[in-house]
Amino acid sequence: MDLGLTDKVAVITGASIGIGLAVAEGLAAEGAHVVMAARQGERLGIEADRIADAYGVKTSAVACDVATADGCDALIAAAREGFGGADILINNAGTGSNETIMEAADDKWRYYWDLHVMAAVRLARGLVPTMKARGGGVVLHNASICAVQPLWYEPIYNTTKAALMMFSKTLATEVIDDNIRVNCINPGLIQTPDWVKTAKELTADSGGDWEGHLKGVAEEYAAIKRFGTAEELANFFVFLCSDKATYSVGSAYFVDGGMLKTV
């Protein structure tokens, strides 16, 4: 199936590892050029070079922190100067939190707000005009099932991901007349390096069976009884970027193995 992505330019945040890297590779496999952003410059460069060699596309590695205005500006400039803008923007950068509302300081709230919400706002302001000039485009936001079904131990993550989901919906109505489609993807349990790291930490004093720990989490929360892979989730991102999803506008899609408990 031709997804119509050949020679499109995609900007992807959090692209050095996990979901963002899988999305970058999935788009490159369809012939898209990828501008990959992350804080870990060395690892990012290695992965960008690998993808360019594997798929014969152009890649750009932009070491920046999109939780800052300067980092967003650097990424916007790289896309504009290197590729004349973007056809696709994937706002993926993010991380879990662990706190209580009563104890979390303002600085922690501000950091997650900048990372999960303001990064998406700033990058939209900088890159949506280039999509309009190119005749249209796609913006996808990687939120979380926690935006609607929160986990008790990460209230800041829950709240900022819910805000990202609403921003996605609002942006969709603002730019659809410019042929720019905006959607939100809310993953459930996806086995990322963060999940593995946490599982190893939690089992370090009890035998180190981190795989067993993750199996227990999946059996408790997901109807499918397993974690999804980053590649499985990336397939959905790639489809929503494609010409096969042109009537998908302003929606939130749950890719969660049956974890969501409501209709």
- pLDDT of 202: 86
- pLDDT of 71: 98
Residues 6+ apart with CB under 8 A from 54: 25, 28
pLDDT in tens, 163-195: 999 999 999 999 999 999 999 999 999 999 989
CB distance 182 to 168 below 8 Å: yes
Look at residue 94 and give its three-state secondary structure: coil
- What is the overall mean pLDDT for the chain? 97
Q: Which of 157, 221, 247, 253 is catalytic?
A: 157
Average confidence (pLDDT) over 8-21: 98
pLDDT at residue 1 greater than cutoff 90: no
In angstroms, the CA 263 to CA 260 distance is 8
Q: Is 247 a catalytic residue?
A: no
Domain boundaries, the chain: 9-190+229-255, 191-227
| Closest C-alpha to 195, from 208, 210, 185, 209 | 210
pLDDT in tens, 187-232: 999 999 989 988 998 899 999 999 999 999 999 999 999 999 999 9
- pLDDT of 91: 98
Q: Give residue 125's pLDDT band: very low, low, confident or very high (50, 70, 90).
A: very high
pLDDT in tens, 51-61: 999 999 999 99
Q: Give residue 8's pLDDT band: very low, low, confident or very high (50, 70, 90).
A: very high
CATH of 9-190+229-255, one of 3.40.50.970, 3.50.30.30, 3.40.50.720, 3.20.20.140: 3.40.50.720
Q: How far is CA 173 from CA 63, 182, 190, 203, 241, in A?
A: 31, 8, 29, 46, 17
- pLDDT of 212: 97
Amino acid at site 52: A
- pLDDT of 116: 98
pLDDT at residue 123 greater than cutoff 90: yes
Torsion angle, alpha carbons of 230, 233, 235, 241, to 10? -120
What are the beta bridge partners of residue 90?
12, 140
